[in-house]
């Protein structure tokens, strides 16, 4: 069966580090003065110019495609478009994709996403489809349905402390559960369905989908330290790995569809549960809280170029 033709496309570029620093400090002069290393500032500015050049090429090639800031990824803009092209790096991709997943869960209306690297020198783009030049060269194939389409397994969580129920955004790659400060040890009691698995001290727990197991990922680094080998899971595999990020614990579990991972917080200070390292989309996980985590009901429909 051929892929569907996708017409309603929206570009969502990331801000450069230069722009973020200028916004934070008030103006360019104040931002530049803040950096004790001139070389670091020049590297940041160089990356900014490269990203702006890429965006300029896209604007010239596709003048009719709308562009918005990721802060405008609201229900209205999501509902009126089909394919969301996230322009930046992996961090920007997961941040935006979480919003698409949250929309899909709420409205039961699937969308498509694509990741494009704005500056390949600064970003590996492990989750992305390629660079701007590739998108321009192969854009016509989208209109013919000639593209790759994968449905990535995602994660969902709910957190209750007995008084409030919080729901962090769905995760593309992983949930991290632990203390807000890695100086402190995290303590959690873990169950899968009705079976107690372990209670252990660690520097946190990773619950990771296939998208989060790739080479160089957080999970990959921890797994190689613990077991001396890789454990790369296909992004479409309907499972998640659960691992304590403390190499002597050797705790590694597999979460399957229909199962519920329950984590009880014994954290002493400020516990957190965070999707894909985006704390703004996570929630607190202080002592007394309970997290329920499962394989997501919605897949992330990822378009990539041939």
- Contact present, 109 and 297 (Cβ < 8 Å): no
Element (H, E) at 130: strand 130-131
Which pair of structure tokens corresponds to residue 32? 């530049």
For domain 9-146, give the fold.
Rossmann fold (3.40.50)
- Contact present, 130 and 120 (Cβ < 8 Å): no
pLDDT tens track for 166-176: 999 999 999 99
Q: For residue 39, with 0-12 CB atoms within 10 Å meaning exposed, 13-18 middle and 19 or more buried, which class applies? A: exposed
Q: Which residue is it, tokens 């934070």?
A: 24
CA distances (Å), 141 to each of 147, 157, 209, 304, in order? 7, 37, 29, 11
Q: Does residue 1 have a pLDDT over 70?
A: no
pLDDT tens track for 89-148: 999 999 999 999 999 999 999 999 999 999 877 777 899 999 999 999 999 888 889 999
pLDDT tens track for 224-276: 988 899 999 999 999 999 988 876 777 789 999 999 999 988 877 788 999 99
Domain extents in the chain: 9-146, 155-297
Q: Which residues contact 45 (CB under 8 A, 6 or more apart)?
A: 18
Which pair of structure tokens corresponds to residue 299? 């897949």
Q: Is this prediction's pTM over 0.85? A: yes
* Overall CATH class of domain 155-297: mainly beta
């Amino acid at each position: 069966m051929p892929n569907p033709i996708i017409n309603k496309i929206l570009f969502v570029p990331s801000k450069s580090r230069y722009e973020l620093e200028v916004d934070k400090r008030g103006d360019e002069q104040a931002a530049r003065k803040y950096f004790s290393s001139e070389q670091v500032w020049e590297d940041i500015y160089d990356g900014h110019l490269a990203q702006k050049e890429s965006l300029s090429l896209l604007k010239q090639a596709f003048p009719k495609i709308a562009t918005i800031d990721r802060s405008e990824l609201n229900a209205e803009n999501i509902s009126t478009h089909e394919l969301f092209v996230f322009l930046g790096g992996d961090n920007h991709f997961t941040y935006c994709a979480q919003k698409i997943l949250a929309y899909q869960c709420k409205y039961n209306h699937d969308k498509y996403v694509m990741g494009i690297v704005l500056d390949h020198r600064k970003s590996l783009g492990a989750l992305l489809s390629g660079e701007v030049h590739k998108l321009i060269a192969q854009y016509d194939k989208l209109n013919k349905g000639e593209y790759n389409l994968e449905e990535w397994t995602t994660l969902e969580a709910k957190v209750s402390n007995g008084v409030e129920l919080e729901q962090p955004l769905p995760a593309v790659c992983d949930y991290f559960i632990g203390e807000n400060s890695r100086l402190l040890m995290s303590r959690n009691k873990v169950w899968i369905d009705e079976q107690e698995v372990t209670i252990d001290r660690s520097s946190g727990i990773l619950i990771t989908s296939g998208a989060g197991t790739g080479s160089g990922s957080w999970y990959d680094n921890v797994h190689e330290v613990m077991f001396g080998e890789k454990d790369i899971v296909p992004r479409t595999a309907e499972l998640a790995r659960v691992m304590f990020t403390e190499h002597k614990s050797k705790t590694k579990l597999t979460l399957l569809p229909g199962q519920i991972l329950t984590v009880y917080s014994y954290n002493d200070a400020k516990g957190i549960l965070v999707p894909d390292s985006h704390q703004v989309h996570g929630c607190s996980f202080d002592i007394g809280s309970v997290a329920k985590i499962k394989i997501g009901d919605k897949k992330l429909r990822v378009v990539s170029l041939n």
